[in-house]
């Protein structure tokens, strides 16, 4: 049994009374330290959250797999393009245009670091070779020869059994491009009649090679004997060329040009013309049909096919018409050199377009870039534009057919080309980023 005297108890209570304030103070200090640590953690997490919230991930995602100029690479590195918390550095710092050879672009990797320390993303970009081009705005005549013969309609054949429509049978369809019949190349419309009326091909099914929706197919068709004409026919309307006018967008240092900003389509089938060859001609604008709501206008021009040739067409795709001009072409005699601005340069706001409305004279008109689409995919509707120039509106109503390809200039850089007009409002339309076109 524990033997504790009254004196001992008093001593114990005395010691406890002496130590109690110290214990409370010590406990308060520990509690305050814990609160301080918690507050610091909350502050740090909040700060990091604010930083992460303010990082423009949508803008970072735009960078992936895009075409940009060397000046834009510098802009990304030097001008806090992605804000104060995020740095962007080029993994391969050596940027040498000579190393690109004949390619229009070469790949570079951009590494993004948080606080210049923590790697968070790596994106691949394509460095555009051209930093400057000759500015377009000139009207051009374009003639395209198709690679084969395009089916644009049906022409029922009068047979002994009555009319026969080959398109109703489904063996051939609108937009089909006939490239071969019985292994003979079909170069133009007249070739079809010659091949199917050969003695060996009469009154039997013939093997026909076609292109349909970009795919090569083989089908069989039995030509019908036309009792009125006295020969065999396929029963189709076909076309082997297309022509029209448009606007030249740019010419690069190798005399390669881009125009239109969208493909040339067949007027009947609305299919993209499959190109075999093509020519570029000088064109004079003779007049304008004004556009209005529900009825797009057009430029009326003249060019002499086969005369005054200025170059050749080599591509007709979703970004426009592309090819090479001759060294002695007259289209670029008065052309001015201009810097290129990729899609990172384009902002909603004031801009200009250049086009030809009278003869061969290029004029400048004011527009506004209403909206930019930060596309991670290619397309000819990169931006929405609106004509604000009263002179242009009074003369054309806004954007009209034939103005496709008119270069769009913002901050003294070519940033795109006009592509489409809004049917309901001719003062508005679409434009394509110039970097889509430059890579062609």
- Is residue 420 flagged as an active site residue? no
Q: Identify whether 404 is a catalytic site residue.
A: yes
Question: Is there a catalytic annotation at residue 209?
Answer: no
Look-up of token digits 């190109």? 275
Q: What are the residues facing 139 on neighbouring strands?
A: 247
What's phi and psi for 195, nearest 5 deg?
-70, -50
From the candidates 105, 176, 209, 262, give the one annotated as an active-site residue. Answer: 262
8-state DSSP, 271: P
Return the closest-CA partner of residue 307 out of 274, 281, 333.
281
Residues 6+ apart with CB under 8 A from 169: none
* Contact between 392 and 355 (Cβ < 8 Å): no
- CB contact at 8 A, 148 and 179: yes
Please report which helix (H) or strand (E) contains residue 60, including its range.
Answer: helix 57-63
Distance CA(247)–CA(259), nearest Å, equals 6
Buried b (16+ CB within 10 A) or exposed e, 119-143: eebebebbbbbbebbbbbbbbbbbb
The long-range contacts involving 223-228, CB below 8 angstroms and separated by at least 24 positions, are 223/196, 224/157, 224/159, 224/164, 224/166, 225/157, 225/159, 225/160, 226/157, 226/158, 226/159, 227/158, 227/159, 227/160, 228/158
DSSP string covering 394-420: HHHSS--BT-TTPEEEETTEEEEEEEE
Active-site option among 209, 404, 406, 420: 404
β-partners of residue 315 are 322
Of the chain, the end-to-end C-alpha distance in Å amounts to 102
Q: Please give the backbone phi and psi of residue 422, each rounded to the nearest 5 degrees, phi first.
A: -75, 125
Query: Which of 201, 239, 248, 246 is CA-nearest to residue 223?
Result: 201
CB atoms within 10 A of CB 255: 15
Of 179, 197, 199, 196, give the one whose Cα is nearest residue 188.
Answer: 179
How far apart are the C-alpha atoms of 323 and 255, rounded to whole Å?
9
Neighbours of 429 (CB within 10 A): 26
The answer to whether the CB of 432 falls within 8 A of the CB of 346 is no
Cβ distance 149 to 189 under 8 Å? Answer: yes
Catalytic-labelled residue, pool 240, 380, 389, 435: 389
Q: Which residues are catalytic?
A: 262, 389, 404
């Amino acid at each position: 049994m524990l033997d504790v005297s009254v004196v001992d108890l008093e001593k114990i209570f005395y010691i406890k009374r002496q130590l109690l304030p110290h214990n409370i103070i010590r406990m308060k200090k520990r509690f305050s330290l814990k609160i301080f640590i918690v507050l610091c953690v909350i502050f740090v997490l909040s700060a990091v959250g604010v930083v992460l919230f303010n990082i423009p991930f949508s803008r970072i995602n735009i960078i992936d797999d895009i075409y940009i100029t060397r000046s834009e690479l510098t802009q990304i590195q030097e001008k806090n393009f992605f804000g104060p918390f995020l740095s962007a550095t080029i993994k391969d710092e050596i940027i040498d245009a000579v190393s690109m050879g004949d390619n229009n672009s070469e790949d570079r990797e951009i590494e993004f670091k948080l606080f210049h320390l923590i790697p968070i993303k790596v994106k691949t970009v394509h460095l555009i070779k051209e930093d400057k081009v000759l500015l377009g705005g000139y009207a051009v005549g374009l003639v395209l020869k198709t690679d084969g013969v395009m089916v644009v309609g049906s022409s029922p054949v009068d047979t002994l059994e009555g009319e026969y429509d080959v398109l109703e049978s489904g063996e051939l369809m609108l937009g089909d491009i006939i490239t071969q019949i019985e292994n003979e190349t079909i170069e133009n419309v007249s070739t079809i009649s010659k091949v199917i009326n050969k003695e060996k091909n009469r009154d039997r099914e013939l093997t026909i090679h076609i292109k349909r929706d970009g795919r090569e197919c083989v089908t069989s068709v039995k030509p019908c004997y036309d009792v009125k004409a006295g020969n065999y026919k396929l029963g189709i309307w076909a076309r082997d060329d297309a022509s029209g006018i448009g606007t030249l967008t740019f010419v690069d240092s190798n005399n390669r040009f881009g125009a239109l900003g969208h493909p040339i389509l067949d007027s009947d089938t609305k299919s993209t013309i499959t190109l075999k060859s093509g020519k570029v001609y000088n064109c004079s604008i003779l007049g304008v049909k004004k556009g209005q709501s529900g009825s797009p206008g057009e430029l009326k021009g003249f060019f002499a096919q086969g005369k005054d040739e200025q170059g050749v067409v080599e591509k007709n795709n979703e970004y426009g018409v592309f090819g090479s001009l001759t060294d002695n072409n007259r289209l670029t005699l008065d052309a001015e050199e201009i810097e290129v601005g990729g899609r990172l340069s384009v902002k909603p706001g004031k801009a200009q377009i250049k086009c030809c409305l009278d003869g061969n004279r290029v004029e400048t008109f004011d527009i506004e870039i209403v909206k930019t689409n930060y596309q991670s995919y290619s397309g000819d509707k990169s931006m929405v534009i609106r004509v604000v120039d009263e002179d242009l509106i009074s003369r054309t109503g806004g954007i009209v057919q034939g103005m496709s390809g008119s270069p769009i200039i913002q901050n003294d850089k070519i940033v795109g080309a006009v592509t489409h007009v809004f049917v309901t409002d001719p003062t508005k339309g679409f434009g394509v980023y110039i970097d889509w076109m430059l890579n062609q």
